[in-house]
Amino acid sequence: MQANVVVVGSLNMDLVTRAERLPRPGETVFGQAFGTVHGGKGANQAVAAARLGASVAMVGCVGTDAYGVQLREGLEAEGIDCQAVRTVAQGASGVALIVVDTDSQNTIVVVPGANGCLDAQDIMTVDGMLQGAKVIICQLEVPMDTVGHVLKRGRELDKIVVLNPAPASGPLPVQWYALVDYLIPNESEALALSGVPVDSLESAELAARSLMALGASNIIVTLGSQGALLVSAQRVVHFAAPKVEAVDATAAGDTFVGAFSAALAAGKGEDDAIRFAQTAAALSVTRAGAQPSIPGLQDIKDFASS
Ligand code: RIB
């Protein structure tokens, strides 16, 4: 089946522990448990879109190690087309070292491994897949040149192009802004891109407006329990977040992006897609881990009727 959402991005095995609190520099703390969990921002977004009704294809790279096999099989079990997930000879798959504290906050160190091998040739090979998509999603855990290539091609093909600029350590190439329909940063990514510290709705709007001045069209700043702020030339709208008991915020942003894209692909309007994505993200924080935490359509229905 032709995928209506194509995700170009990372697949990681998450090495996760929970600790009373996150260690300070130079400090050792005890973890309470350890587990390996399927993750990677790209793969998480693909899983969210698939569980929430889209037909999805993943474009990325894994290594020849056992993690690579497990990550691919995990996505295939979700019904995600993995023909364009390339196994990189002699490479290690991406991993992420994650610590989650009792306040559900986390720190993440990503070692890209095979994700760093995704190149423009991989994207040219899947041009037919991009042509058939309605929505194309990128993040920043694969090489920037590759992301730039996808954004440009997505714009040429007149697709809905979604960029989750995560992780972000500084400004984006300025020519990217005009290539993206929806830019979805969280607070820290909005700061990295704009230089404006974001800790309120007002500062989120300020940051988004400075990105609009660079050519961005629709910016959705995700603000955790403070909801999300949509800023475009036409309007600024705050969407309050559903209230939930948070356990682990890992992949909440990914769930938002995947759910939002699935909703757009299904023909929902912008506001409905944002509310749908917020519910999905809120449910994801009530569960531990990246992909295991991502809800399905039935979970959203149950939440709506609760
Ligand atoms: O956004 C959460 C994800 O970031 C984790 O699954 C981890 O793999 C890192 O990519």
Q: What is the mean pLDDT of the chain?
A: 96
How big is the chain, counted in residues? 306
Task: Find out whether the beta carbon of 142 lies less than 6 Å from any atom of ligand 1.
Answer: no
pLDDT in the model for residue 304: 87
Tokens representing 230? 């949509």
CA–CA separation, 289 and 17 (whole Å)? 10
Instruction: Let me know: does 105 contact 129? Beta carbons within 8 Å.
Output: no
Pocket of ligand 1, candidates 12, 36, 67, 139: which has the most ligand atoms within 8 Å of its Cβ, to mutate? 12
pLDDT in the model for residue 211: 98
pLDDT in the model for residue 104: 85
**Catalytic residue flag (residue 254):** yes
pLDDT of 105 > 90? The answer is: no
Task: Find out whether the beta carbon of 110 lies less than 6 Å from any atom of ligand 1.
Answer: yes
pLDDT of 233 > 90? The answer is: yes
* pLDDT tier, 85 (very low <50, low <70, confident <90, very high otherwise): very high
- Provide, rounded to the nearest whole percent, the portion of the chain with pLDDT above 90: 95
Tell me how far the alpha carbon of residue 229 lies from the centroid of ligand 1, in angstroms.
23
What atom of ligand 1 comes closest to residue 95's alpha carbon?
8
* pLDDT tier, 91 (very low <50, low <70, confident <90, very high otherwise): confident
- Provide, rounded to the nearest whole percent, the portion of the chain with pLDDT above 70: 100
**Per-residue pLDDT reduced to its tens digit, 249-267:** 999 999 999 999 999 999 9
**Residue 145: C-alpha distances to residues 124, 151, 249, 269 (Å):** 13, 10, 29, 31
pLDDT in the model for residue 167: 96
Hey, whose CA ends up nearest to atom 7 of ligand 1?
Answer: 40
Into how many domains does the chain fold?
1
CA–CA separation, 255 and 183 (whole Å)? 15
| Residue-number span of the structural domain to which 218 is assigned | 5-24+31-305
144 alpha-carbon distance from chain centroid: 15
Domain holding 20: CATH number? 3.40.1190.20
What count of other Cβ atoms lies within 10 Å of the Cβ of residue 47? 31
**Per-residue pLDDT reduced to its tens digit, 110-124:** 999 999 999 999 999
pLDDT in the model for residue 185: 98
Nearest to 208 by CA among 88, 195, 37, 273: 195
According to DSSP, residue 22 is labeled P
Task: Find out whether the beta carbon of 42 lies less than 6 Å from any atom of ligand 1.
Answer: no
pTM above 0.95, yes or no: yes
Of the candidates 81, 254, 272, 302, the residue annotated as catalytic is 254
pLDDT of 1 > 80? The answer is: no
Tell me how far the alpha carbon of residue 195 lies from the centroid of ligand 1, in angstroms.
24
Left, alpha or beta for 81 (phi > 0: left; psi -120 to 50: alpha)? beta
Q: Please compute the mean of the pLDDT values over residues 51-63 and round it to a whole number.
A: 98
**Per-residue pLDDT reduced to its tens digit, 132-148:** 999 999 999 999 999 99
**Per-residue pLDDT reduced to its tens digit, 145-202:** 999 999 999 999 999 999 999 999 899 999 999 999 999 999 999 999 999 999 999 9
**Per-residue pLDDT reduced to its tens digit, 272-301:** 999 999 999 999 999 999 999 999 999 999
